[in-house]
């Protein structure tokens, strides 16, 4: 059985926590896209972690964790991440696809220089090198993990790449050129440290499928950050959709039977771009302070996240794009302070009210149509059974389920692993 765990929104929905839970009893957990630009927060019996590239099944000794070919592999960061995991758990299983591509220091440099050059027109990049990385991948000038272990080939590829990159550095940014031999030595040294994890993971997954294993495919960010279907150009540079999980992991698409789509009981987003249900000022400060495990601040950058109310058009669109077969709702506890819970029920664009999620230009003109539901005014952390929640909290969950049109099968009421409300089937 293959389950994709993906986001319905802009990312930070709580996929890490949900994957950490679902990994119990799963044989394999695969990350299929993205790199070190976003973090999945996990709080369990071993401590608090912000995983960036390692799949969130890593705390289960029996689960094999695979960094898939669709990922952007920052080896230096990965080594640090492995150290963090090693300090917490003795036994873990990690594999890296030998077809994954390597995010090089020049990708980070180009990302930083480009955001600075754009000034007011910037994308709000985390400056992790993701856009230059995927540009190189699809321009066919990237370096695959297997190529790190062929010295002559690697040298040749670095020289060819730097020819173009150095010309850009000089002409566009007035920056110093990079020296091929320095990069070569660095990549060779780093590659030695991860050699034992590198493998043909697609072949491994095909065997796992043949043997009837349970496999999780974990996405990064959410549907609205998908390159094609999201709020382009304020998106990420790889596909965040369950549909892409087959490609980014290397398995047949028809094997993905279950698509667990994660959404939060309110909205948060990082980076630039339209965000219709966004709130500002003291109202936003309060939600931001109460949100997440220690406020809504980026797991990678520490920057304050933009926040807003639950957004029905955006979440419905995200769930549909993902092909959600079930929903996980997180962060319900965060709303316990409100007398009334505002929800963005529809958008008004050019005088027309609709639940549809339009293209980016129209989205920029959309205004939220806000509905208010009664607040539950209680601290619900620690509640285990759905029937023990205040009626208003249950109604809020049912309201979301009905409007999105997908069954909520997991309900999270706190950042810790055990903070889950059991929902009867
Ligand atoms: P991911 O990238 O989708 O895994 O999400 P992040 O880890 O970036 O952000 C989710 C934030 O919400 C983290 O701070 C989590 O610890 C936190 N979180 C997850 N579930 C809950 C929940 O039910 N309640 C609260 N208060 N925080 C949660």
Region 393-421: mean pLDDT is: 98
Region 124-145: mean pLDDT is: 94
* One domain, residues 76 and 126: no
Residue 199's pLDDT is: 98
331 lines ligand 1 (CB under 6 A): yes
* One domain, residues 232 and 94: yes
**CB-based contact 289:337 (threshold 8 Å):** no
pTM > 0.95: yes
Ligand 1 geometric centre to CA of 299 (Å): 10
Distance separating alpha carbons of residues 23 and 15, to the nearest angstrom = 12
* One domain, residues 408 and 343: yes
Check which CATH number belongs to the domain holding 344 and give it.
3.90.170.10
Domain boundary among 173, 194, 215: 194
Distance separating alpha carbons of residues 57 and 116, to the nearest angstrom = 36
Distance separating alpha carbons of residues 116 and 36, to the nearest angstrom = 20
Query: What pLDDT digit, counting tens, does each position of 336-360 carry?
Result: 999 999 999 999 999 999 999 999 9
Range of the domain at 161: 101-194
12 lines ligand 1 (CB under 6 A): yes
Nearest to 142 by CA among 150, 133, 152, 151: 133
* One domain, residues 153 and 39: no
**CB-based contact 212:2 (threshold 8 Å):** no
For the chain, the domain total comes to 3
Query: What pLDDT digit, counting tens, does each position of 246-285 carry?
Result: 999 999 999 999 999 999 999 999 889 999 999 999 999 9
Tell me which of 12, 27, 111, 333 is the catalytic residue. Answer: 12
* One domain, residues 238 and 342: no
Check which CATH number belongs to the domain holding 81 and give it.
3.40.440.10
CA angle, 408 as apex, 35 and 416 as ends, to 5°?
A: 55
* One domain, residues 92 and 209: yes
Domain boundary among 232, 260, 288: 260
219 lines ligand 1 (CB under 6 A): no
Counting residues of the chain whose pLDDT is more than 90, the rounded percentage is 93
Ligand 1 geometric centre to CA of 337 (Å): 18
* One domain, residues 183 and 71: no
Give the pLDDT band of residue 13 (cuts 50, 70, 90).
Answer: very high
Check which CATH number belongs to the domain holding 155 and give it.
1.10.300.10
* One domain, residues 382 and 294: yes
**CB-based contact 265:307 (threshold 8 Å):** no
Nearest to 200 by CA among 74, 70, 69, 101: 69
Annotated catalytic residue 40: yes
Query: What pLDDT digit, counting tens, does each position of 145-174 carry?
Result: 999 999 999 999 999 999 999 999 999 999
Annotated catalytic residue 60: no
Domain boundary among 194, 212, 247: 194
Tell me which of 20, 27, 40, 226 is the catalytic residue. Answer: 40
- What is the rounded end-to-end Cα distance, in angstroms, of the chain? 19
Residue nearest to atom 13 of ligand 1 (CA): 292
Region 94-106: mean pLDDT is: 98
CA distances to 384, 387, 409, 410, 421 from 424, rounded to whole Å, are: 11, 9, 8, 10, 10
* One domain, residues 242 and 388: no
Other Cβ atoms within 10 Å of 113 Cβ, number: 18
414 lines ligand 1 (CB under 6 A): yes
- In angstroms, how far apart are the furthest CA atoms of the chain? 67
* One domain, residues 228 and 305: no
129: phi > 0 → left, psi -120 to 50 → alpha, else beta; which?
A: left
Other Cβ atoms within 10 Å of 217 Cβ, number: 33
* One domain, residues 401 and 297: yes
Residue 352's pLDDT is: 96
Ligand 1 geometric centre to CA of 15 (Å): 8
* One domain, residues 61 and 118: no
CA distances to 9, 103, 170, 233, 394 from 219, rounded to whole Å, are: 12, 18, 36, 20, 28
């Amino acid at each position: 059985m293959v389950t994709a765990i993906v986001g319905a929104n802009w990312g930070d929905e709580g996929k890490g926590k949900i994957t950490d839970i679902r990994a119990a009893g799963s044989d394999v957990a695969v990350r299929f896209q993205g790199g070190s630009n976003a973090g999945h927060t996990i709080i369990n019996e071993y401590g608090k972690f912000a995983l960036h590239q390692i799949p969130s099944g890593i705390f289960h000794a029996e689960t094999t964790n695979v960094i898939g070919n669709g990922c952007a592999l920052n080896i230096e960061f990965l080594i640090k991440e492995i150290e963090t995991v090693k300090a917490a758990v003795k036994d873990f299983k990690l594999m890296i696809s030998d077809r994954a591509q390597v995010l090089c220091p020049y990708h980070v440099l180009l990302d930083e220089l480009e955001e600075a050059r754009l000034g007011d027109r910037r994308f709000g990049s985390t400056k992790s090198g993701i856009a230059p990385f995927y540009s190189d991948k699809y321009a066919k000038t990237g370096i695959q993990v297997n190529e790190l272990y062929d010295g002559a080939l690697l040298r040749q590829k670095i020289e060819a790449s730097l020819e173009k990159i150095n010309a850009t550095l000089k002409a566009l940014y007035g920056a110093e050129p990079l020296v091929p031999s320095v990069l070569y030595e660095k990549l060779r040294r780093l590659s030695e440290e991860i050699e034992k994890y590198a493998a043909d993971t697609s072949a491994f997954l095909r065997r796992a499928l043949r043997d009837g294993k349970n496999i999780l495919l974990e996405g990064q960010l959410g549907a609205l950050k998908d390159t094609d279907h999201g709020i382009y150009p304020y998106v990420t540079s790889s596909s965040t959709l369950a549909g892409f999980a087959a490609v980014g992991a290397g398995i047949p698409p028809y094997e993905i039977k279950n698509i667990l789509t994660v959404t939060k009981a309110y909205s948060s987003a990082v980076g630039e771009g339209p965000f219709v249900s966004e709130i500002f000022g003291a109202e936003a400060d309060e939600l931001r302070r109460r949100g997440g495990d220690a406020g809504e601040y980026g797991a990678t950058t520490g920057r304050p996240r933009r926040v807003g109310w639950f957004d029905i058009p955006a979440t419905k669109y995200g769930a549909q794009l993902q092909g959600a077969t079930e929903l996980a709702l997180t962060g319900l506890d965060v709303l316990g302070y409100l007398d009334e819970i505002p929800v963005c029920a529809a958008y008004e664009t050019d005088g027309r009210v609709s639940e549809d999620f339009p293209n980016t230009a129209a989205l920029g003109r959309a205004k939220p149509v806000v509905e208010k539901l009664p607040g539950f005014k209680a601290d619900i952390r620690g509640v285990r059974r759905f029937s023990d929640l205040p009626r208003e909290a249950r109604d809020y969950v049912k309201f979301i389920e009905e409007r999105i049109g997908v069954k909520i099968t997991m309900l999270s009421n706190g950042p810790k692993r055990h903070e889950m409300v059991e929902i009867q089937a």
